[in-house]
Structure 1
Amino acid sequence: MEEGNIHPQLESPNPKSNSTSPPPPPAPPQIPITWPEDGVVSSSWVTNLMHTFDWASRAIPPSEFPSVLPVSVFDKLVLTASKILHKEPNCVKIDEDSGLNSESSSVVVVGDVHGQLHDVLFLLGDAGYPSEDRFFVFNGDYVDRGAWGLEVFLLLLAWKVLMPQRVYLLRGNHESKYCTSVYGFEKEVSMKYGDNGKHVYRKCLGCFEGLPLASIIAGKVYTAHGGLFRGTFVTPSKRGKNKKKNRKVVHNPEVNALTLGSLEELEKARRSVLDPPWEGSNLIPGDVLWSDPSMNAGLSPNKERGIGLLWGPDCTEEFLKKYNLKLIIRSHEGPDARDKRQDLGGMDKGYTVDHIVESGKLITLFSAPDYPQFQATAERYRNKGAFIILEPPHFDTPIYHSFEAVTPRPKVNPYYDFEDVIDSDEELDLQSMVADS
C-alpha cells in the first residue's frame, strides 16, 4: 500500500467510546468549513471544527482534506493565531494578571500528543474544555508520528484564537523543520494539501517559530517541553573596554564551565529559529526543547541527542529554590525513550516523578497513549497517556489523570518510515539540520 493512504473504519464520533465493533457512521457535518463572516471565532465554530476533523478522519481520504478545510480558511486561522503567539514572551506568566483566580480556577497541563487526534479530543472532553476558570498549558510536540498532526495543531490554534488568555501553546522539539521532515508532518501536509502542501507547511513552520518556550503558573510551577537550560555570561570585546556595543554573549562549551540558566536569560533568548542551534550563541532554545533530566549531579552535554543538556537533582533543587517554585513539569520523553533510561522511571502511566528534592519535584508528562500508534502492534508500548490538573489555592500539587487510547481508531499508514528512522530523536543528523537551516 502506498504510504499515507487511509482506509477508514466508520466509527462513533464519541472519543470516549471503547467499543470494539464499528457502529453506524456518524452524520457528515456541513463542509467545507468557512471562516466567520465577522472574523471572530466563536465557541461553536471551534467545537464544530473538532467534530468535523473527527468525522473527516474516519470518512474521507487525506487527499480530500481541502474539501473540509480550504486553504483560504487555513491561512486565516494560522495568521490570526500567529499574530497572538508572536506577541507572547518566551516564558508566559499565568497568574492573577492573566485571570487566574486563586479560588475558582484550575490549570490543565498536557504533554506530547504527536498527532493523535482522537486521544486529544478525548483529553479535552475528559479534562473539560477551556473556559474562564479552566486554563490549559500544552507542552509541545503536537505533530509528527501520528497521522493527524495537522488537525491537532489547527484545532489547538483555534482554541488559542478563541481564548488567548486561557490556552497556552508552548513549543516542542518537533515543532521544527528538521523533525517534521523526518517524522512525518511534512509528508502528511503534502498528502492532505497536494499542490498547496508547500505553502501550508511553510505557514505552519512560521507559526512554530512564534510558539513560546516555557510558562510559569501561579508563580509556583515551571513548564517547558525539555526542561532546564544553560546560563550565558558576557565578555568584553578585544576592540575596547568602553564600547558597550562590542560586548557579546558567549556560551561556554566546556563541560566544567556549564552553569544553570536564569529566567532573565530565557526571556532574552531568540526563539524565532526553525531549528534551534546546538552550537553558537543562541543555545537556550535548544536546551529548553531538547534537554533531559538525569540522576547524576550537575550539568553535562546531552550526547545521546546531540543537542541540549542533561541535568541532575541538584540543578532541579537550585532552580526551584532560586525562584521559589514547587514543580517543574516537562515532557519530551515517551515510553520508547524511557525504555532506554534505566536510571529513570518508565512511561506506563503517562507520567513519572523523576526528581524529589527539598524544594519540590520534577515531573515528566506524556499525553500520547498507545504510542506510537502506527507502528506494528508488537512494537507499540501500550502506555497510558496522562494530563495534570493544578487546583487552587496554590496550584502546586499535581493531580494526575491517566487515560487509555481511544479505540477503535481509523486505520491509516504512517507518514514516515518508522522501521529505519531513529528512535527518540537520538543522534540527530546535525549536518542535515545545518543544510536545512
Structure 2
Amino acid sequence: MSDSLPSGPPSDPKPATATNSPDEATTTTTSSTTTTTSTPEGPIPPPVQIPLSWPADSSLTLDWIQNLISAFDWSSKNLSPSELPLVLPVPVFDTLVLTASKILHKEPNCVRIDDCNDNSRVVVVGDVHGQLHDVIFLLQDAGFPCEDRFFVFNGDYVDRGAWGLETFLLLLAWKVFLPQRVYLLRGNHESKYCTSVYGFEKEVLVKYGDKGKHVYRKCLGCFEGLPLASIIAGHVYTAHGGLFRSVSITPLKRSKGKKNRRITLNSETKPLCLGSLEELSKARRSVLDPPWEGLNLIPGDVLWSDPTMKSGLSPNTERGIGLLWGPDCTEDFLKKFQLKLIIRSHEGPDAREKRPGLGGMDVGYTIDHVVPSGKLITLFSAPDYPQFQATEDRFNNKGAYIVLKPPYFDVPEFHTFEAITPRPAVNAYYDYEDVIDSDEELDLASMVTAT
C-alpha cells in the first residue's frame, strides 16, 4: 500500500464497534504481516483523518481518544502491521509516551483512590495481553472512564496478543486524558525479559521498522513508571500478582572521604513473613528484571506471586520468582490493614490448569480465598486465550471485569464477556509452541542476561 491513504471525515468519528461487519475487508497472512484484500466495493476508508496528530494545545479530548480507537481498530483490519506509523507517526508516539511517563513516574508505588462518592463506580480489569478488540469492547461495555467512573488496570497489557503496542498506547491516552480516573498498574510482562520472549519486542520492531528500537526503549522506560498496587476506597487492594514479603534494609556507615561518597545498603531477608504497606511504599520499582534482591524483592513478589490453598508463605518454586501464600496470609493481610477484598490477576486458564485446589478461569475470574475478613479474587480479562494457540489447545475462556460500587466498594460485581470474533488474521510474534510458559519455572540466568 502506498503512503497516500484515503481519508475519512475528520469530525464526528464513531467509536470502533465490538463486532465485525459481514462486508469487512478480509486479510491473509504472509510472514509476519497482513495483506489487505479489498471488498468488491473497494478498500474500506479509514473512519477518521490519518495520520493522527497531537493536539495543538497538548490537551487530549474524548474525541481524540475515540479517533485513536477507530484508527487502531481500522488499521488492524486493513493495513499490514508495518504500516502502523502511517496511522500513528513516531513524533505523536513520542509525545504520548513522554506525557504519560511524566504522570506515571510521579505516582506512588501504591496509588490510593479515595475520592469516590455515592455516584462513583470503580472498574477493575485483569490481564488483557494485547487483545485490542476485546479491550475496546470492555471499555464500551463498562462505559468509558469519566468523572464518576474510575478504571484500575492490573497489568499485562502486552505480549502473546498481536496488538500489545496499540493496547498499551490506548490505555496511556486514557491516562493522559483522565489521570485521576484511570490507573495503570504494572504486570510481570511489563519487563524487558518477558517482552523479549513473548512477542512484544518483535511486534514493535515489525511495526516501526528502523524506528522500532527507539519505540521499544521508550515503552520500557514507561513500564518503569507503572505503579505496583492500588487501594480503592480504603477497602480493596489490587495488584498484578498479589502479596509480598517483609524485607529489612539496614544502611551501613558512610564511607570516609568526600569524593565518591555513597551509602551502602545491607539487605537482610527475614524469615518469610508478610510485608507492610509502608515497605511497599519504599520499594524500588524502576528495575524491570532480576536480580530480585534487596529493594527489588518486594516488586518481584507483587508482580509474580500466586495464592495457594496450603497455609503459610513459601517460595514460588513453580515460577522460580515470588511467593505462594495461603488463606491464612490473606486473612492476616486483610485484617492488619483493615481491608475487605484483594483483587489480583496474573493467572489465565493455562496457569490454573496446573494449580490443584484452585478454580479454573473459564468465566474470567475465581474466588480463591474466603476468610473471616474478606475475599481474594483472581481476575483475568483476556477471553479465548491465548490468542495464537492451535485451535485444539485454546481454552475458549470468557474474560471478566469487576465493578465496585458504594457505599464501601468492597462487594465485587462480576461482568463476563466473550472474545470479539473473528479477529483480524495476523501471525504470532513469538514461538508459542516452544516458548516456556511464564507460569512455569523461568530461566533466571536468561532473565539477568536480558537486562
TM-score w.r.t. the length of structure 1 is 0.91
How far apart are the structure 2 equivalents of 1:405 and 1:252?
A: 44
Aligned to 1:16, which of 15, 18, 27? 18
Query: 1:373–1:212: structure 2 CA closer, same or farther, 3 Å change rule?
Result: same
CA contact (8 A) 2:252 2:266 kept: no
Structure-2 residue corresponding to 1:387: 401
Are 1:40 and 2:59 counterparts? Answer: yes
Structure 1, residues 141-182: CA drift from partner, whole Å, max 9, x if none?
Answer: 000000000000000000000000000000000000000000
Aligned to 2:228, which of 213, 217, 231? 213
| Matched letter for residue 147 of structure 2 | E
Query: 1:409–1:396: structure 2 CA closer, same or farther, 3 Å change rule?
Result: same
Query: 1:238–1:204: structure 2 CA closer, same or farther, 3 Å change rule?
Result: closer
Aligned to 1:305, which of 305, 311, 319? 319
| Matched letter for residue 105 of structure 1 | S
Aligned to 2:77, which of 48, 52, 58? 58
Structure-2 residue corresponding to 1:175: 190
Trace 1:25-424 onto structure 2 (pairs within 5 A): 27-28=45-46, 29-96=48-115, 100-101=116-117, 103-234=118-249, 237=252, 248=265, 250-252=267-269, 257-424=271-438
How far apart are the structure 1 equivalents of 2:76 and 2:265?
A: 50
Structure 1, residues 187-234: CA drift from partner, whole Å, max 9, x if none?
Answer: 000000000000000000000000000000000000000000000225
Equivalent position SS for 1:411? coil
CA contact (8 A) 2:287 2:296 kept: no
Equivalent position SS for 1:283? helix
How far apart are the structure 2 equivalents of 1:238 and 1:205?
A: 34
CA contact (8 A) 1:221 1:326 kept: yes
Query: 1:230–1:14: structure 2 CA closer, same or farther, 3 Å change rule?
Result: same
CA contact (8 A) 1:19 1:408 kept: no
Structure 1, residues 376-410: CA drift from partner, whole Å, max 9, x if none?
Answer: 11111100000000001110000000000001110
Cα offset, 1:17, TM superposition: 2.2
Equivalent position SS for 1:410? coil
Structure 1, residues 309-344: CA drift from partner, whole Å, max 9, x if none?
Answer: 000000000000011100000000000000001210
Runs of 4+ that moved beyond 3 A:
12-15, 18-27, 234-240, 245-249
Cα offset, 1:252, TM superposition: 2.0
Equivalent position SS for 1:232? strand
CA contact (8 A) 2:250 2:268 kept: no
Equivalent position SS for 1:423? coil
Structure 1, residues 276-301: CA drift from partner, whole Å, max 9, x if none?
Answer: 53334420000000000011111100
How far apart are the structure 2 equivalents of 1:208 and 1:191?
A: 20
Query: 1:355–1:249: structure 2 CA closer, same or farther, 3 Å change rule?
Result: farther
CA contact (8 A) 1:333 1:424 kept: no
Equivalent position SS for 1:343? coil
CA contact (8 A) 1:278 1:306 kept: no
How far apart are the structure 1 equivalents of 2:109 and 2:373?
A: 24
CA contact (8 A) 2:284 2:295 kept: no
CA contact (8 A) 2:18 2:133 kept: no
Q: Identity, % of aligned pairs? A: 74
Query: 1:251–1:401: structure 2 CA closer, same or farther, 3 Å change rule?
Result: farther
**Structure having greater relative contact order (Cα 8 Å, sep ≥ 6):** 1
CA contact (8 A) 2:15 2:69 kept: no
Aligned pairs, number: 415
CA contact (8 A) 1:348 1:382 kept: yes
Equivalent position SS for 1:258? strand
CA contact (8 A) 1:13 1:55 kept: no
Cα offset, 1:61, TM superposition: 0.1
Q: CA RMSD in A?
A: 2.0
Are 1:427 and 2:448 counterparts? Answer: no
Cα offset, 1:109, TM superposition: 0.1
Structure-2 residue corresponding to 1:8: none
Cα offset, 1:250, TM superposition: 2.3
Query: 1:214–1:306: structure 2 CA closer, same or farther, 3 Å change rule?
Result: same
How far apart are the structure 2 equivalents of 1:182 and 1:333?
A: 18
TM-score w.r.t. the length of structure 2 is 0.88
How far apart are the structure 1 equivalents of 2:107 and 2:143?
A: 25
